[in-house]
Structure 1
Amino acid sequence: MESMASEIAQRLSRDAEAVCRHYLSSGRRQGRYWIVGDAENTPGRSLYVRLTGPTSGKGAAGKWTDAATGEHGDLLDLISANLRLSSLGEALDEARRFLSLPRPNPQPRTPQTRAQTGSPEAARRLWAMGSPVAGTLAERYLTGRGIVGKRTISALRFHPSCYYWREDEADAAEPETWPALLAKVTDIGGSLTGLHRTWLDPETADKAPLDPNRKAMGALLGHGVRIGRTTDILGVGEGLETMLSLRMALPDLPVIAALSASHLAALDLPDCLGRLYIAVDSDDAGRNAAEALGERARIAGIETLPLTCRREDANEDLRAFGLDDLRAYLRPQLAPQDVERLLPSSAA
């Protein structure tokens, strides 16, 4: 496995700039380096990847370092960090997909026992079967919701044929299968605890004609879908598309989608947090959840600011009014010290 990983890493290094453009699209080339905020594709200048040089040894192409954290490695490590992959095997599979290489012949293995339906283990197995959303129906769905430039978010994957059990036919012999957008639910430490599935219609690239067309599995209480690395500020809210839209408007704000009002109210907050932005949905449940979470945060000494929209949520505003208008509407709701920090320079 080690020699195979070395070979794949060297293959990646021969086309280092293409790797960076795919997985670190928020960055840019500067001389012999690709510069970006971090391995998760946050805008910034902390992480740099060498684009030229030998395929191995000192000064090799593909070697990277994050000056803020001290993390470093090769392009295989970068892919693993970018997509938050949990094993070398997953990283190798993803690299082979990028390089259009066939998978090696599988080795015989002991059959897995069946995971309990809806359990965290079942969520982990389903997540492992997903692939990045870039170029898939999931990306078309997000684009249709006005959410663009998020094709390499590590918390999202696509499954082309995900089981769906109709709730009024729980005893049916066979489930249906539909394509699905998968969103990884993690705890504060980044461990996968659950999964959120949005089933999609391949003909319309919209949600599938199912009721409900979204379901979550695994351990959800206190956890959420995390996008971006939490610092001293954080944005939280209910819906996945809501928080992806907020992340588009405020690209340097790490966000968490709690997936429901009740889970938002119970969300675990990191100790490092100094200021919390809560995206408030317009219904009673959303307002009550935001109030409950805000009270918990204030008791913990965390400054809390609500973010409201004109329609039901940030994605409704994004689709109705456009990105520039959404940013302009959010601007006066930000703490003064966060305006330049969170808004792109052209909008600040």
Structure 2
Amino acid sequence: MTLTATDLARRLADRAEAVCRHYLSNGRREGAYWLVGDVANTPGRSLYVRLSGPPSGRGAQGRWMDAATGQHGDLLDLVGLVLGHTRLGETLLEARRWLALPDAPTNSQPNPRLKPQRSRGSSERAARRLYAMASPLPGTLGETYLQARGLDARLAAGVLRFHPSCYYRPTTTDPPDTPTAWPAIIAPVTDLAGRQTGAHRTWLDRHGRGKAPIVTPRRAMGALAGGGVRFGLAQDVLAAGEGLETILSLGGLAPDLPLVAALSSAHLAALALPPSLRRLYVVVDPDPAGRAAALALAQRAEAAGIQTRALSTDLDDLNDALRRMGPRALVALLASQIAPEDLVRFQPVA
């Protein structure tokens, strides 16, 4: 019997959780969904796969979507994207292999089901629209939030923006009555050429005193690989870290030091570095993923002939240390990790 692509997708859907455990091993099950960061099997929650549901139509078992990029499809599409296939025959052969079915002749034509570039372009445009719709940061709840974190909002005012009612898609673990709109800080993700390729949202509570009481108060959208949220133009020296609060904490200690927030440990490890760079500071988050990402980035930088220095407080992330110690004490703690020629840069904002 000859099985079509639709037949194979249906058989994969019947074993949706096993497929996810095999091809998206860095994800996890939450209720009726498998959650993972993206089709590259990055840890996270952006991509979700339905593990149960009707065999076809809305909410069908095996259907998936990446909320950050807009990519979606069935499990045959997903297998092809995870493995980087460009030919339908490759994906059909892999599906047959995984399902323990006899091999069939392969299709040498390009796979019309795999269209990541179109999805990426749509998501990039959506990210740019969201940023354009947002308002300047000064005088908003976004400024209130940063100040509550011990940060000088003036350092962020030229980059970050504020949206008073930004859409939030609740997860399966959010309460059923979770509102679908919250105030949010909107940050532009840009590439080395300064082109905006994505956006990052930090949803806030209604008073701006903390993050919104939702399961995932931070999410990114668009093309993120290699990019980041940039503060200042990097030439020979740059400091990189994961979170916005971490990088803005460093900005308060060294206002003229170019900075970039990669937004996650996986994206920090894959950060694209300017070709003119000669020295890179990597802010290390004190958890296994943070340390591994910082090491991976440092190794890539050193292989390219870039001097690297780690900035770490060992126990706290930089923002926690800033609020606990104050800026001058934190600079004193970090002084031994800073290149002597850069010490002049570390003059905390008055």
Following superposition, the deviation at residue 148 of structure 1 comes to: 1.5
Does residue 285 of the first structure (1) align with residue 289 of the second (2)? yes
Residue of structure 1 in register with 2:70 after alignment: none
* More divergent stretch after superposition (196-205 vs 214-223): 196-205
Does residue 201 of the first structure (1) align with residue 201 of the second (2)? no
CA distance in 1, matches of 2:120, 2:276: 35
Does residue 296 of the first structure (1) align with residue 300 of the second (2)? yes
Change over 3 Å in CA distance of 1:300–1:167 after alignment to 2: same
Is the Cα–Cα contact under 8 Å of residues 144 and 208 in structure 2 kept in the other structure?
Answer: no
CA distance in 2, matches of 1:345, 1:326: 10
Candidates 310, 326, 330, aligned match of 2:330: 326
Candidates 103, 128, 138, aligned match of 1:134: 138
TM-score, reference length from structure 1: 0.62
Structure 1 residue runs without a partner (length 5+): 1-114
Following superposition, the deviation at residue 149 of structure 1 comes to: 4.2
Residue of structure 2 in register with 1:122 after alignment: 126
Following superposition, the deviation at residue 150 of structure 1 comes to: 2.2
Secondary structure of the equivalent of 2:189? strand
Within a 5 Å distance, the mapping from 1:69-80 to structure 2 comes to none
Following superposition, the deviation at residue 203 of structure 1 comes to: 2.9
TM-score, reference length from structure 2: 0.62
Structure 2 residue runs without a partner (length 5+): 1-118
Letter in 2 for 1:343: F
Within a 5 Å distance, the mapping from 1:96-245 to structure 2 comes to 119-150=123-154, 153-168=157-172, 176-203=180-207, 205-245=209-249
Following superposition, the deviation at residue 331 of structure 1 comes to: 1.6
Is the Cα–Cα contact under 8 Å of residues 120 and 223 in structure 2 kept in the other structure?
Answer: no
Following superposition, the deviation at residue 176 of structure 1 comes to: 1.0
Following superposition, the deviation at residue 226 of structure 1 comes to: 0.2
CA distance in 1, matches of 2:205, 2:348: 38
Residue of structure 2 in register with 1:275 after alignment: 279
Q: What are the superposed Cα offsets for residues 64-89 of structure 1, whole Å, 9 maximum, x if unpaired?
A: xxxxxxxxxxxxxxxxxxxxxxxxxx
Q: What are the superposed Cα offsets for residues 75-125 of structure 1, whole Å, 9 maximum, x if unpaired?
A: xxxxxxxxxxxxxxxxxxxxxxxxxxxxxxxxxxxxxxxx99981111010
CA distance in 2, matches of 1:242, 1:202: 23
The structure whose Rg is larger is 2
Which consecutive aligned stretches of 4+ in structure 1 deviate over 3 angstroms post-superposition? 115-118
Letter in 2 for 1:280: V
Change over 3 Å in CA distance of 1:151–1:256 after alignment to 2: closer
CA distance in 2, matches of 1:165, 1:346: 37
Secondary structure of the equivalent of 1:201? coil
Root mean square deviation, CA, Å: 2.5
Following superposition, the deviation at residue 326 of structure 1 comes to: 1.3
Secondary structure of the equivalent of 1:158? strand
Secondary structure of the equivalent of 2:281? strand
Secondary structure of the equivalent of 1:234? strand
Is the Cα–Cα contact under 8 Å of residues 286 and 315 in structure 2 kept in the other structure?
Answer: yes
Q: What are the superposed Cα offsets for residues 288-337 of structure 1, whole Å, 9 maximum, x if unpaired?
A: 11111101000100000000014331101011111111111122211111
Is the Cα–Cα contact under 8 Å of residues 173 and 215 in structure 2 kept in the other structure?
Answer: no
Q: Percent identity?
A: 51
CA distance in 2, matches of 1:346, 1:218: 33
Letter in 1 for 2:347: P
